Amino acid sequence: MIGARTLGATLLLALAGCDSAPRPANIDALRERCLALEQRALEDNRAIATLTSLCDTAPKRLSGTDGMFAAERWAAEQLRLAGCDDVRLEPVMVPHWRRGEERAEVTSGGTMPLRITALGGSVATPAGGLEAEVIAVRTFEELQALGDAAKGKIVFFNRPMPRALRRTGSAYGSAVPQRSQGAVEAAKAGGVAALVRSMTTTIDGYPHTGAMRYQDDVARVPAAAIATEDAEALAALLANGPVRVRLVLGCETLPDVEGHNVVGELRGSERPDEIVLIGGHLDAWDLGRGAHDDGAGVVHCIEAIRLLCATGWRPKRTIRVVLFANEENGLRGAKAYAAAHDAEIPQHVAAIETDSGGFTPLGFGCSLSGPQAEAVHRLFAPLQELGAGQFVPGGGAGGADIGVLHERGVPCFGLWVDGHRYFDYHHTAVDDVPAVNERELALGAAVVAYAAATLADR
């Protein structure tokens, strides 16, 4: 933990005086405010309309694209309409990767198309594509043990997300290294391409894209995700003998362009220089329209400001909304924010990220532990009446974009939602508004509004 003159210290010192349960009158007032936010969110039903507006205005908003610029303009206007006192676009250089043509097919024993999509950042196949025998593995260790057997092959990483894990985020974390690092490991083994099972427990026909990376001292081979239905079919074919696949990817990486973090503030009534940050990421993968990932988080933050203004709650500290650029394939927005605001990070009292979709809110994970975490838990007690009373201390950074603040000692919170369906849609063509329930989305906004304002008032 950092020193007593820095951010976290501001909140932590305030919480140090909360070792005993808050006075009943204080809890009653917090409960009334919490229920007022819930009622207003559900009655107004503005959240789903705002999400629809984002997805209509900027359905494709991967960093560097025209859709990204449209989303920035849209977000700035929405923050003004919500009631922010100050709205600005803060520049950040972001990558510009383009998908292009993508197709694959089994070519041995007849032709069978495979539903695939390039992984973000992949290089293209050679002109006209490539064709090679496929070799299937589940782990990097299994691949390494094959020795020369992988040379000249398409390496098929077919490790499913473990269904037995109740937390789908944990299941994702256990399987996602094959997506992010698969191309590097395939190339190290002499493979000519990487084909990765999509990151979902669902067996369906939608391939899931996502970020991958290369290593400077390792050859760059193309990488694609395959729909789980087709992964199962390909594995069955391989069980009966050798299989060849033809892969065509037309990806290209263009020069970086200037994008922006979109920032808006509801200025504090008593300590405006002290900041509670709430944020999500404005960019989205290009297959669907990014309704859950992270249109929902963007709407949570915008709607949180509107709800606070509509219910007359002006917090003592400033609540700053940051809609980050380039979370999906680089985290440039998070890094640029930390650099641009380096001098005032000690004035950041807390940071909240919402990037888990617009599902039913359950509560928060929190980087704090011990008595400090317990003090916040008591302040969040009224959220139990909204079904969002879960509180998990020692939960790490709370999200990728606020991770840089966590490293500097800022107490960080991540909104927890019912995530069982999240990876049905994550990074796919079906991540669109019909997949979002309007009441669940509205409740998420009310929960974020309550948490932010309560922290801002301590």
- State whether 190 and 225 are in the same domain: yes
When computed from its CA atoms, the radius of gyration of the chain, rounded to whole angstroms, is: 23
Quote the number of domains for the chain.
2
CA separation for the pair 347, 42 (Å, rounded): 33
pLDDT of the residue at 176:
97
CA separation for the pair 267, 353 (Å, rounded): 19
Q: 164, exposed or middle or buried, with CB in 10 Å at 0-12, 13-18, 19+?
A: exposed
Contact call for residues 415 and 395 (beta carbons, < 8 A): no
pLDDT of the residue at 21:
45
Indicate if the pLDDT at residue 45 is higher than 50.
Answer: yes
Q: Give the end of a domain, one of 250, 274, 307.
A: 250
Domain holding 241: CATH number? Answer: 3.50.30.30
Q: Give the end of a domain, one of 250, 280, 301.
A: 250
Percent of the chain with pLDDT over 70: 95
pLDDT of the residue at 458:
86
- State whether 123 and 207 are in the same domain: yes
- State whether 45 and 192 are in the same domain: no
What are the structure tokens assigned to 71, written together? Answer: 């989303």
Domain residues for 165? 100-250
Do β-strands 223-226 and 86-98 pair in parallel, antiparallel, or remain unpaired? unpaired
Q: Judge whether 327 counts as a catalytic residue.
A: yes
pLDDT of the residue at 49:
98
Question: Residue 453, Cα to own-chain centre: how many angstroms?
Answer: 23
User: Is residue 63 a part of any domain in this protein?
Assistant: yes
User: Is residue 1 a part of any domain in this protein?
Assistant: no
- State whether 34 and 62 are in the same domain: yes
- State whether 244 and 136 are in the same domain: yes
* pLDDT digit string, tens, across residues 50-71: 999 999 999 999 999 999 999 9
Average pLDDT estimate for 286-309: 98
Q: Give the end of a domain, one of 220, 250, 280.
A: 250
DSSP for 174-204, written as a single string: HHTHHHHHHHHHHHHTT-SEEEEE-S-SS-S
Contact call for residues 120 and 278 (beta carbons, < 8 A): no
Q: Which of 303, 327, 328, 440 is catalytic?
A: 327
Domain holding 453: CATH number? Answer: 3.40.630.10
Q: 85, exposed or middle or buried, with CB in 10 Å at 0-12, 13-18, 19+?
A: middle
